[in-house]
Amino acid sequence: MSAETHYDVIIAGAGIVGASVAWHLAASGARVAVIDAIGPAAAASGASDGAVSVASKKPGPLARLASASLLYTRELASQGVLAGAFHARPSFVFGQGEAELAALDALVAKLRAISGPVHVTGDGPAAQLACLGPGVERLITLNGEGHMPGHKAVRAYLSAPGITPIWPAPIHGFDIDDRGVTVHLADRRLRTGHLVSALGTATTELFPTLPIMPRAGQLFVTDRGAPGLLPGSLTAAAYLVAKTEAPDVLPLPPVVIDPLTTGQFLIGSSRENHADPNRVDFSTLRRLMERSVRALPLLAERRVIRAFAGIRAAVSDSLPIIGNLPGETRVTLATGFEGDGICLSALVGREIARMVHGLPPTDSIAADLATLSPARFVDARQEAWG
């Protein structure tokens, strides 16, 4: 094995969370290495809907943190850090049938209770938007949310000076001693003062007892057409139900239609309990397509040019895991973001950088962040790290 190289911080995983952490640490002057088994945005961050959404978040800490992250993402975009990656746009949530209409009532109440950056600016029949079809019974219009393709944000963050990219290089393990952490790659060892693990579903390779499981989602992309036909994302209320209550059976497919700047539409996404990014099945896609066309009939004229799946990292209590390894301030975890990692990434990057520097969390979100600590998995901690 070759000689050791030293970095102030090593970040395991070049997804959007690892990339945001790297940018924040590099901006504060740290010498940072980002290691990925494959390359940047190779996993969930490169296969997601990309909604920076508060509406879809579970009420409580997650919705409040999403509000704070949305505001901070906008700030980073206006400073140029995420320029070209994040763009603000209206979002529309629609429903059909009793269960979905009730979910829309709950959405309006939740947004009112948070009184955050997202506001309901319309609530009524589909006629609010001329392009909608018979699959939309009621439409809520929201102002304040945005869209950020994960791969674009990763590229933007990792272009900062002071970040050393290391890939393809799977991490096989790590050791902690009095002076720091040693990270093991196939052909060498790297030394660091601090390890941040942002490995998504692969977190269990290094921390096997954490209750993280894969949850797949299928998506597809259409060909290009005239842009601007749909002015923002169009989300079925079933998607909110799926994310906040995770029922076994949904009333209707949980579709999200996102118009891209290219004039294409990105349409997703299912929720399936497996870890195979190559499993794309026509029956699931057909259900998503049928519902999409009933909601937005112009899609019937478009061709699907690509279908793919991404794998979310879901935690047993449906909350991310963010914080230092209990009893070990030199190792920090940031994982388990399931369907919320694009939205939360900016805030998480800033807060993990503070943790690494030994600073307290930002005051306004400290209590919510504390609920996400890995210390809540006491049994897992005892088994995994004694």
- The distance of closest approach from Cβ of residue 176 to ligand FAD in the complex, given in angstroms and rounded to an integer, is 17
- The distance of closest approach from Cβ of residue 57 to ligand FAD in the complex, given in angstroms and rounded to an integer, is 9
Q: Report which of 255, 258, 222, 228 is spatially closest to residue 239, judged by C-alpha positions.
A: 255
> Does residue 145 bind ligand FAD (CB under 6 A)?
no
Pick 171 or 295: Cβ nearer ligand FAD: 171
- The distance of closest approach from Cβ of residue 84 to ligand FAD in the complex, given in angstroms and rounded to an integer, is 18
| Sheet with 87-88, side-by-side order of all strands | 51-52, 146-147, 87-88
- Region 340-359 residues binding ligand FAD, contact defined as CB under 6 A: 340-343
Torsion angles phi and psi, residue 344, rounded to 5: -85, -10
Instruction: Judge contact between 233 and 129, C-beta under 8 A.
Output: no
- Region 89-118 residues binding ligand FAD, contact defined as CB under 6 A: none
> Does residue 214 bind ligand FAD (CB under 6 A)?
no
Instruction: Judge contact between 57 and 66, C-beta under 8 A.
Output: yes
Q: Which of 72, 94, 265, 337 binds ligand FAD (CB under 6 A)?
A: 337
> Does residue 34 bind ligand FAD (CB under 6 A)?
no
Burial 61-97 (b: 16+ CB within 10 A, else e): bbbbbbbbbbebbbebbeeebbeebbebbbbbbbbbe
Q: How many residues does the chain have?
A: 386
Pick 187 or 363: Cβ nearer ligand FAD: 187
> Token digits for 86?
């994040």
Pick 37 or 295: Cβ nearer ligand FAD: 37
Cα dihedral value 338, 67, 41, 153, nearest 10: 170
The three-state secondary structure class of 210 is coil
Q: Which of 312, 330, 350, 381 binds ligand FAD (CB under 6 A)?
A: 312
Contacts of 78 (CB under 8 A, 6+ apart): none
Q: How many other CB atoms are found less than 10 A from the CB of residue 371?
A: 15
Question: x/- string (CB under 6 A) for ligand FAD, residues 164-203?
Answer: ------xx--------------------------xxx-x-
> Does residue 15 bind ligand FAD (CB under 6 A)?
yes
> Does residue 310 bind ligand FAD (CB under 6 A)?
yes
Tell me the residue type at 326.
P
CA atoms of 351 and 262, how far apart (whole Å): 33
> Does residue 333 bind ligand FAD (CB under 6 A)?
no
- The distance of closest approach from Cβ of residue 22 to ligand FAD in the complex, given in angstroms and rounded to an integer, is 11
CA atoms of 189 and 123, how far apart (whole Å): 57
Pick 37 or 190: Cβ nearer ligand FAD: 37
- The distance of closest approach from Cβ of residue 158 to ligand FAD in the complex, given in angstroms and rounded to an integer, is 11
- The distance of closest approach from Cβ of residue 199 to ligand FAD in the complex, given in angstroms and rounded to an integer, is 4
> By rule CB under 6 A, what count of residues binds ligand FAD?
43
Tell me the residue type at 70.
L
Binding residues (CB under 6 A) for ligand FAD: these are 12-18, 35-38, 42-45, 47-51, 150, 170-171, 198-200, 202, 205, 217, 219, 268-269, 310-312, 335, 337-343
